[in-house]
Structure 1
Amino acid sequence: MSLYEQTGVIVRPTSSKDRYGTERDQWGAAAERIPIEQINVQPAGGSSEDNADRHVVVTGWLLISAPGTMPDLRDTDRLEVDGLVLEVTGKVGRWPTPVGMRHIEAQLKEVS
């Protein structure tokens, strides 16, 4: 059994200009959907807070791809995995090596 048996979908926004000429990310049906395989996504901390309107829980997650893989995950993407929709937070770490044991790592968050 491998640690990298999870699969998911990278959700990448397309962009379009609004009537004022400002570039806007388009999610939903307009977004590009790219399958991703051989990943491991695990909880990596989180926080919660209460405000006057609602209770907010932010859960951190860590994605690591299998050795030898370099999925095209970007800092502007979202990831759907195991019924969750996670946002990439920060830059995606890319770890190439001369011997080919490359992989990526990314911090993700879920806000509910």
Structure 2
Amino acid sequence: MTLAELTVKIMETVPARRGNVYGTTIRKMRADGSVRENGPYFIWTRSEGGKMRSSYVPAADVPRYRQEIENGRRLEDLIGELWKLAEGAADAEKKTPRRSTAPRPR
């Protein structure tokens, strides 16, 4: 894959997000012993600077967030390909010649 092809594929993944979206409910015990369940509430979690961050997501936005997270996973794979291209280019550059290793006189 060329750098131009990779750039096009990377641009196709934008917008993208890291993390995960999951749904949760809150259960509360009433005075009469019955359980009341509220929700579902959707939460977007991700790691920022080594710390876990979370935000509530409106139910209407969940499909968009999930698509953007999938785009983010594809973006991570493409960035791995970009690293391979960059390292290949670095290896292809002319290296400085090594010094002759002629035997030393004893």
TM-score, normalisation: structure 2: 0.29
More helix per residue: 1 or 2? 2
Bigger radius of gyration, 1 or 2?
Answer: 2
Normalized per residue, the structure richer in strand is 1
Structure having greater relative contact order (Cα 8 Å, sep ≥ 6): 2
Give the TM-score, by structure 1 length. Answer: 0.28
